[in-house]
Amino acid sequence: MNHPKFKAAAVQAAPVFLDLDKTIDKTIALMEDAARNGAELIAFPETWLPGYPWYAWLDAPAMWLPQYTQRYFDNSLEYGTPQAERISKAAKDNNIVVSMGLSERNGGSLYISQWFIDRDGQTIAQRRKLKPTHVERTIFGEGDGSDLAVWDTRLGRVGGLCCWEHLQPLSKYAMYAQNEQVHVAAWPSFSLYEAGAYALGPEVNTSASRIYAVEGQCFVLAPCATVSQEMVDEMCTTDLQKALLKTGGGYARIFGPDGQQLHESLPAGEEGLIYAEIDLGLISVSKAVGDPAGHYSRPDVTQLIHNKAPRRAVVDTAPPSDPAPAVERTHGADEPALPAMAEL
């Protein structure tokens, strides 16, 4: 049996904050750099485009709404636009699979999203963070159960979660149960509230990525952005704000299915790419010890119900051209009563 082997890259860098076009320029340069170094997959941090909205953590909404709301909305990325096509074309030109973290604009709403783009430039998937964390909910909408998904690719079964989705046990288990092999754990930076909120810092959150690898017996790419001096200058106008948000905070990591870190770390304030060799054949060795959704599970004691049905505010339907008389529908032995619910 042949198991895919390939080189992967994770980004540790700062975006050109609130400038979508310039950040896409930087995105393409990083893709080109990764491809030159032999990477077949590159992963970008949470809301890399157009940068994470740290301002929401630094002041009351009444203070930042007038200054940032429209700018952030206008510089968020919409699917099918020329800016989105630039990224797809770069994936094809560089023969590389891309996991892109972004603020996704859809209608009048924004979502924390991850797009997976194949090496031919085709979008494999667009997933949204199920529950924005804390003050993120003043900016972003929610995903649904269809966003807890794993997709078949040439490189294996690939999936992703954003930031503190890695602290949601049931969401993680839904991913493990889909035989995920390569996971992208997208993080924004770990330089906020350094002395006041240990749970937001690098020890806890890099540990969450490592534990995901061990629990799910999968490879985990954990791209992590940095905060640039330009971002601090833009968002921090008081001494208190400057004390709350520091430069740096980059802790990009790649872990193997046994939890081992597979590379040398970059300094927290340095921009660059980290690389690791991925051998999917190693997954079976780790799963032989404990597969949490397989032989190491106890479904007679605990089970997860995963509702995969998309939940959208508006569903367009058209009446049938030749409507048939209404017939009461019953469920046979082979047809579940709740087809939208999947027991994992």
Q: Which residues are catalytic?
A: 46, 129, 163
Those residues whose C-beta lies under 8 Å from the C-beta of residue 294, and which sit 6 or more positions away, are 287
Torsion of CA 291, 310, 99, 1, to 10 degrees: 40
Q: Which of 76, 125, 72, 117 is nearest to 96 (CA)?
A: 117
DSSP state of 108: T
Concatenating the DSSP letter of every residue in 266-333 gives PPTT--EEEEEEEETTHHHHHHTT--TTTTT--TTT---EEE-----S-------SSPPPP------T
Chain centre to alpha carbon of residue 288: 28
Cβ proximity of 87 and 25 under 8 Å: no
Beta bridge partners, 243, equal none
DSSP state of 248: B
Cα separation of 216 and 67, whole Å?
Answer: 42
Cα separation of 273 and 35, whole Å?
Answer: 11
Q: What angle do CA 43, 90, 5 make, to 5 degrees?
A: 50
Q: Which of 239, 235, 219 is nearest to 227 (CA)?
A: 235
Cα separation of 179 and 243, whole Å?
Answer: 43
Cα separation of 329 and 165, whole Å?
Answer: 38
Q: Measured between alpha carbons, how far apart are the two ends of the chain, in Å? A: 27
